[in-house]
Chain A
Amino acid sequence: MAWTKKILRVDLTKGTCKSEPLNMEWAQQYLGQRGLATKYFVEEVDPKVDPLSPANKMIMATGPLTGTPASTGGRYSVITKGPLTGAIACSNSGGYFGAELKFAGWDMVVFEGKSAKPVYLSIEDDKVELRDAAHLWGKTTWQTEEIIKKSHQDPQTRVCSIGRAGENGVLFSCIVNDLHRAAGRSGVGAVMGSKNLKAVAVRGTSGTATIKDPKAFMAATVAAKKVLADNAVTGQGLPKYGTQVLMNVINEMGALPTRNAKEVQFEGARNISGEAMHEKRPTDGKANLVTNNACFGCTIACGRISQVDKNHWSVVNNPKYWGASGGLEYEAAWALGAAAGVDDLDALTVANMMCNEDGMDPITFGATIGAAMELYTLGALTKEQIGIEAPFNSAQAVVEMTRMTAEGRGFGKELGLGSKRLTAKYGHPDLSMSVKGQEFPAYDPRGIQGMGLTYATSNRGACHLRSYTVASEVLGIPVKTDPLVTDGKAGLVIAFQDATAVFDSAGICIFTSFAWSLADVQPQLAAACEGDWSMEKLALVGERIWNMERQFNNAAGFTAKDDDLPKRMKTEAAKTGPAKGLVSGIDKMLPEYYKARGWTTGGVPEKETLARLGL
């Protein structure tokens, strides 16, 4: 089975919590987590809904492997309509919250309506209730988790919550669980805040005794874990250096968007890299990196736990940042660092801690800082408007802008809108490095062409986690392709998009895909889940999920015009590195992609495609 076959429906307007049976017909078609929750969402919510209105819904969903002994089986996703983009939002998080929700006996929680006052949801197995959260409103995610655990008198309680950013409607606010893991992108935290829902606290003791064939499942998970352990990337590289090892790789190959993507190589990249995190600081003789860290059930353990020098200017009078905490991961280091031209590792570590503390997506936020710095450089924004000097390369500006945005004061309110709205307001809309309103991450589409198509077609706005062609174009996983050419990228992106949809719907981490293919996931699903879970079916499920998300976005008003990259990517060639002289070939790749997808030239799935997918 693997599913608990129960969903929890929470009507925040009425204050009710009801158990419903899981729609198993849909589970057979959409698997779980991302796919299954999106199916529920698109069936129940008008695509035109205002994301921050009570009519929008928000679903926290586990996958069939969440909470099981499958490696990395601790994931959950938050599905809603995103306020940053107006598109489908689906943000995935690790840590321990997802597994605990499963242990409590729930496949997913559907939140609808809006509470009249701040509340949090308490789940202790079948005992579920909405509780007053007046004492939590205005608190950070760190404070919220601590207060709830103390009041529940159970340190095993797992908490996800919004910080002040989510309360204040920051359009890229996250939902943070376990202090530093986050459902990070598209502003799912703002949706939670709009519903006056501060947190979800869950404690589960029922376990996951729902595996179809336990003996076969254990054999399958053991075999799959051996694949991860024997693979040099998942067995050695990621545990030791984390995602941050990419900083020097991507910089060397000239694909590191720098200073709002004006450049593609950052002279300070080495100072904020995974290698630098291992080195002892000259100031206090300690390394930034304290240890690595694993989410529930993970046998990779790529997470970074870091500590800054207590005498660093950013924390010298702020002891709450003196302890070890989560970060830096590659995306945050790039966004808060290279995108702003800042190479102060400790300052970036602190800014990232603040993002965790108050629940902000550091990718969108860092990219927004980069855009603001370019506006400042152009004179479109002044010191008087921002409240501080904000030139590129200023670590002080990054830290202060993080603080003002987290606290919702001054110019921070404008930064909290994201770069699309900010640059439009100040007369330079082309300076937002975003697609569908969401900022792209740490790979420049001029130097890694497949990522341009990935960003342009991502259903949740620009994102690397919908089709990580970097694996192939840079790292040679599963095969090496040339990052500078457009040929073959449509097929590559589609293959990654569909496979990723399956990983995201299973309850496991996409980082397993550095070693696993679907052929490694399939035996685990087949042993855990009732029904047919052949390779052929999984491929179809992945494609079905992608097209379902696309249909929602089309119905929400998106068109082919929105499958586009910022003007800079198409008109300003890379100035250095292997991509020197190149712009993105998105205009060539996109028609090929539509055709290969079985979509019209306008980006709409053909009737035959929908019929084949059962949509």
Chain B
Amino acid sequence: MRVTFKLFASLQDYLPVEAKRDNALSLDLAEGTTIMAVIERFGLPLKSCKLALVDGVFVPPAERATRVLADGETLAIWPPVAGG
């Protein structure tokens, strides 16, 4: 299945260079892949994964290990950020 994976702010350093311009990468994942599996695959520091959204909807940290991604979904992750 294909999932769009987005990393923003300081986490974009974990993207391949060619993906940084869009902050996005198309991933070919095995069925049953969870959010946590993607986080681990890219070696993201857990403390930097403050905000994880799937299709814009917040997924609590406790559910990342069980939340299975589906074909066509977008996973986006941010470090701790704020604005005004």
Interface residues of A (CB under 8 A from B): 231-234, 236-238, 240-246, 248-249, 252-254, 270, 274-275, 279, 329-331, 464-465, 468, 470-471, 474-477, 480, 482-483, 510-511, 514, 577-578
Which residues on B sit within 8 Å (CB–CB) of A483?
Answer: 58
**Would you call B82 and A236 a contact (CB within 8 A)?**
no
- A511 CA to B83 CA in the complex, in Å? 8
Report the bound CA distance from A249 to B50 in whole Å.
12
Of A249, A471, A577, the contact of B78 (CB 8 Å cutoff): A249
Least CB separation from B58: chain A residue: A480
| Contact, CB under 8 Å: B79 / A578 | no
Chain B residue with Cβ nearest A232: B80
Q: How far is the CB of B35 from chain A (nearest CB, A)?
A: 15
Whose C-beta in chain A lies nearest to the C-beta of B24? A270
> Using an 8 Å CB-CB cutoff, how does the interface string of B53-84 with A read, 1 for contact, 0 for none?
10111101000000000000010101111111
Taking A237-B81, A240-B9 as given, write out 9 further A-B residue pairs in contact, using a Cβ cutoff of 8 Å, ordered by the A residue number: A232-B47, A240-B10, A245-B83, A270-B22, A275-B9, A471-B82, A475-B51, A475-B80, A475-B82
Task: Give A32 Cβ to nearest chain B Cβ, in Å.
Answer: 21
Whether the Cβ atoms of B8 and A233 lie closer than 8 Å is no
CB distance from B42 to the nearest CB of A (A): 17
- Residues in B neighbouring A231, C-beta threshold 8 A: 80
A-B contact pairs, 21 of them (CB 8 A): A231-B80, A233-B80, A233-B81, A237-B9, A237-B80, A237-B81, A243-B84, A244-B83, A245-B81, A248-B8, A249-B51, A249-B81, A252-B74, A253-B56, A270-B23, A468-B84, A475-B80, A475-B82, A482-B58, A577-B55, A577-B56
B16 to chain A, nearest CB (A): 15
**By the criterion CB–CB under 8 Å, are A233 and B23 in contact?**
no
Cα distance A275–B58 when bound, in Å?
21
Task: State the CA gap A249–B58 with chains docked (Å).
Answer: 11
Q: For B20, what are the chain A residues with a Cβ–Cβ distance below 8 Å?
A: 279
- How distant is the Cα of A221 from the Cα of B26 in the complex, in angstroms? 47
B21 to chain A: closest residue by CB: A279
Task: Out of A254, A274, A465, A468, name the residue touching B56 (CB < 8 Å).
Answer: A254
Closest CB of chain A to B70's CB: distance in Å? 15
List, in ascending order, chain A residues with CB within 8 A of B53's CB: 252-253
Distance in angstroms from A95 CB to nearest chain B CB is: 16
Using a CB–CB distance below 8 Å, which chain B residues touch chain A? 6, 8-10, 12, 20-23, 47-48, 50-51, 53, 55-58, 60, 74, 76, 78-84
Chain A residues closer than 8 Å to B56, beta-carbon distance: 252-254, 577-578
Of listed A252, A274, A329, residue having the most chain B CB within 10 A: A252
Query: For B22, what are the chain A residues with a Cβ–Cβ distance below 8 Å?
Result: 270
Residues of B near A242 (CB, < 8 A) are 83
Known pairs A464-B84, A476-B50, A578-B56; A249 contacts B79 (CB<8 A): no
Kindly state the separation between the CA atoms of A248 and B9 in the bound complex, as whole angstroms: 10
Most interface-central of A253, A254, A482 (chain B CB within 10 A):
A253
| Min C-beta distance of B4 to chain A, whole Å | 11
B83 proximity list for chain A (CB < 8 A): 238, 242-246, 249, 330, 470
B57 to chain A, nearest CB (A): 5
Q: What is the distance, in angstroms, from A285's C-beta to the closest C-beta of chain B? A: 15
CA A162 to CA B56, docked complex, whole Å: 41
Residues of A within 8 A of B47 (CB): 232
**Distance of A378 Cα from B41 Cα, bound (Å):** 50
Q: Given A275-B23, A480-B60, are A249 and B8 also a contact pair (CB < 8 Å)?
A: yes
The answer for the CA separation of A24 and B10 in the assembled complex, in Å, is 47
Q: Smallest distance from the beta carbon of B78 to chain A beta carbons, Å?
A: 6
CA distance A334 to B78 in the complex (A): 19
Q: Could you tell me if A252 and B81 are in contact, using CB atoms closer than 8 angstroms?
A: no
Q: Within 8 Å CB of A248, what residues of B? A: 6, 8, 23, 76
Contact B58 A477, beta carbon cutoff 8 Å? no
**Could you tell me the distance between the alpha carbons of A238 and B10 in the complex, rounded to whole angstroms?**
11
Partner of B12, one of A275, A510, A578: A275
Contacts of B55 in A (CB 8 A): 577-578
Which of chain B's residues have a CB closer than 8 A to the CB of A329?
A: 84
